[in-house]
Structure 1
């Protein structure tokens, strides 16, 4: 596996945040002009759904770690789920195998610029083998529950850029020691730029998480950037860089390079499959996934 040195890691971590703070003012002006030409959808809500002809292009928070700034149209549902998800990692002393069964994100459009989410981990199997003794430890059960919501600040229905706010809280519903049994939370800032022929997105995130020793909490910060391009017809290829650093003493920087394909079956159904590849010692070596996004 390719490893990045500490100096490169610390410099790369805030890269996405720099992108977000260095946007030229011309983009914002173009954004305001474009939005003024959009249809007014502010009257639509959970009980007064957005008509099909006014629904925006399908957008999802999967399969990448860079979430979307766009919300689900008011009065509509969206399911984002893995059909298969497996993780492998190897270090000097142990080998990890992790299998997740149907992890999913359920979404409901409440207002034109607001939706609510419920992220579930129905069943997880974790196997850790000690390479010295050969002993295998296995854990299995339900994972954590994460309610969250997203507010789109601008760009939901067109424009050069889009920005969202996505706060979340992780509830410790896990079984068999599959989590840290602590309430944690954070705030994500997903951002997208409209570049003809390309999908370009960034995200910055701040979380408050439990210390490894369980004695208190500390912040951790993540940044990511993803780019995608249509290959042929309804098939597209994406590439993402993700980094995360922690304020906890002795923690290591985590970085991954991720890639995946998407196929647009129709305007409400998308298939995807790909991999997260660890680039630092703190990251898992390889995670493979296959899933879909369905809106109705």
Structure 2
């Protein structure tokens, strides 16, 4: 088997360059006495928990050093009907496992324990595939706002590693995510994100670049119950622009546990028609 670097130089180099640049040009200023993966942050000094779910816009806030955070969808269902082809998908235990490396950085492993894809074609044969999903490795670095202030910015380079399952495209992909968060006051918050992805185009047998942008508003409702409303757009030179709305509720059960339920609705023909999910975030 050829090496990852040789088979997929674009995605591999993209992840490597962004990761090195993030840590080089934005030093954390962490001293030898500061908390780390081997010297965990004590409970009394833990920052407020911040989760990348349930919306698509990520959080710029990292997991505290030496602590673990699990974010998962128990189930995520989607359906799309386009040109006489109906595609129904289901993901179980879609997981983002995080560990804080230092006061500004966390390492993330993103995967789906079980995924199904059921394709029904009115003009051709149907198909069904299931299995374990590909794995993303991500490195979140908080540029500012981790421990104070009304706004925060982060950078998240990532790489997707194919595992060779029935639903894998057997290609390495990667990208960089720039999430921003702003406290608007009076229980309101805003998030925004710009993302550049290097994805594989199986029709051209080559990697293409796609750009994602999003904006989300959230509001405290009653007690620890909150809602969010989000707009997401994705497109590239070789793909149609896809626009969708995402919306849902979160409930903070305790300082280390958050439950959520959400929905996605396509806003144009190219986007997925509908999706729904429910999940949890837990910090240890």
TM range (shorter): 0.7 to 0.9
Match of 2:64, SS state, is coil
Q: Who is 1:184 aligned against?
A: 173
Q: Does 1:123 align with 2:114?
A: yes
For 2:42 and 2:251, locate their aligned partners in 1 and report how far apart those are by CA, in whole Å. 24
> What do the CA deviations read for 1:20-79 (whole angstroms, capped 9, x no partner)?
xxxxxxxxxxxxxxxxxxxx9971111111111211111111111100000000110000
Aligned to 2:85: 94
1:13 matched residue in structure 2: none
Give the match for residue 27 of structure 1.
Answer: none
Return the alpha-carbon distance in structure 2 between the equivalents of residues 97 and 41 of structure 1: 51
Unaligned runs of 5+ in 1: 1-39
User: 4+ residue stretches of structure 1 with deviation over 2 A?
Assistant: none
| Secondary structure class of the residue paired with 1:253 | strand
The reply to whether residue 273 of structure 1 matches residue 261 of structure 2 is yes
Q: Using the alignment, how far apart are the partners of 1:284 and 1:191 within structure 2?
A: 25
TM-score, normalised on structure 1? Answer: 0.82
d(CA) in 1 for partners of 2:57, 2:164 = 24
Could you tell me which runs of 5 or more consecutive residues in structure 2 were left unpaired when the two chains were aligned: 1-30
Q: What secondary structure does 1:175 align onto?
A: coil
The TM-score, its normalising length taken from structure 2, stands at 0.86
> Could you say which residue in structure 2 is the equivalent of 1:193?
182
Root-mean-square deviation (Å): 1.5
Matched, 1:56 2:47: yes
- Aligned pair partner of 2:157 in 154, 164, 167: 167
Structure 1 residue 214: Cα displacement: 4.4
1:26-65 matches, within 5 Å, as 43-65=34-56
Q: Which has the higher strand share?
A: 2
**CA-to-aligned-CA distance 1:139-158 (integer Å, 9 cap, x gap):** 01111100111000100001
Question: Residue 101 of structure 2 aligns to a residue in which SS?
Answer: strand
Q: How does 1:1-296 map to 2 (within 5 A)?
A: 43-132=34-123, 135-176=125-166, 178-196=167-185, 197-248=187-238, 251-296=239-284
C-alpha displacement of 1:212: 3.1
C-alpha contact (below 8 Å) 1:241/1:256 kept by paired residues: yes
Instruction: Look up the SS of the partner of 2:44 in the other structure.
Output: helix
Give the secondary structure class of the aligned counterpart of 1:53: helix
Tell me the distance in 1 between the aligned counterparts of 2:207 and 2:93.
30
Does the aligned pair in 2 maintain the 1:42–1:112 contact within 8 Å? no
Is the Cα–Cα contact under 8 Å of residues 246 and 252 in structure 1 kept in the other structure?
A: yes
Q: CA deviation at 1:218?
A: 1.6
SS in 1 for 2:37: coil
Q: Is the 8 A contact 1:60 1:80 kept in 2?
A: yes
Offset of residue 131 of structure 1: 2.4
Number of equivalences? 253
